[in-house]
């Protein structure tokens, strides 16, 4: 199998993106330094300056992203003195003013999160993966990431009641409903917006022998 050509460009994204034309990229994924993090590498961005620092970059992302493309932002609020900063929420609101649509939020559950104990909170085991788009009509290949139905379907779908064969709306009047019979003869279903992935703990080779054969 031929390996697609990859071009790696190093530099400040704020400057590098200015060299690309409008509507150029299909997908942009970034995990920027969080507030007061990576001080030795990036200099550290204070929480009350974070939104102002990030908006020029998101402005360039908006310019170079194709109309049907997607931007994923991996970010997390920081807790200091028992309280979460609000810079992520403030950033979402300002990006919407910038022209972005906040279309989805994925929860990244880090299965090997940092151990420890804090007096007023539990271990930080998740991060946000915020999805932004320029248009409500963007490319999304849901069928390519379908997952097995699971063992629950074997017994649950053997004998369906009358209610299972119609759209049974919530008795609370929420508007939600389900038709259990729609799952019959299905081997796969669509995944949820929760990502259960462990973080990388050590350096690994870019390619293995298996990748090259």
Domains of the chain: 13-146+192-212 (3.40.50.150), 147-189 (no CATH)
Selection from 140, 159, 108 nearest residue 26 by Cα: 140
Poorest-pLDDT segment among 8-17, 162-171, 192-201: 162-171
159: buried, middle or exposed (CB in 10 Å: 19+, 13-18, 0-12)?
exposed
DSSP of 176-188, one letter per residue? -EE-GGGGTT-SE
pLDDT tens digits along 97-146: 999 999 999 999 988 777 777 788 888 889 999 999 999 999 999 999 99
Task: Report d(CA 119, CA 113) in Å as an integer.
Answer: 18
* Residue 210: pLDDT over 50: no
């Amino acid at each position: 199998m031929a390996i697609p050509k990859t071009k790696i460009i190093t530099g400040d994204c704020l400057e590098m993106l200015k060299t690309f034309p409008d509507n150029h990229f299909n997908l942009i994924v970034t995990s920027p330094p969080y507030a007061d993090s990576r001080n030795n590498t990036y200099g550290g961005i204070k929480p009350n300056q974070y939104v102002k620092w990030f908006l020029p970059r998101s402005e360039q992302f908006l310019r170079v992203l194709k109309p049907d493309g997607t931007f994923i932002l991996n970010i997390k609020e920081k807790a200091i003195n028992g309280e979460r900063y609000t810079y992520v929420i403030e950033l979402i609101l300002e990006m919407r003013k910038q022209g972005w649509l906040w279309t989805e939020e994925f929860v990244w559950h880090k299965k090997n999160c940092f151990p420890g104990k804090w007096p007023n909170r539990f271990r930080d085991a998740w991060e946000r993966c915020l999805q932004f788009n320029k248009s409500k009509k963007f490319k999304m290949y849901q069928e390519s990431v379908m997952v097995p139905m699971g063992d629950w379907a074997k017994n649950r779908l053997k004998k369906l009641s009358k209610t299972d064969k119609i759209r049974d709306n919530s008795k609370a009047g929420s508007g939600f409903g389900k038709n259990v019979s729609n799952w019959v003869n299905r081997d796969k279903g669509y995944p949820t917006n929760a990502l259960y992935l462990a973080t990388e703990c050590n350096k690994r080779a870019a390619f293995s022998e298996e990748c090259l054969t």
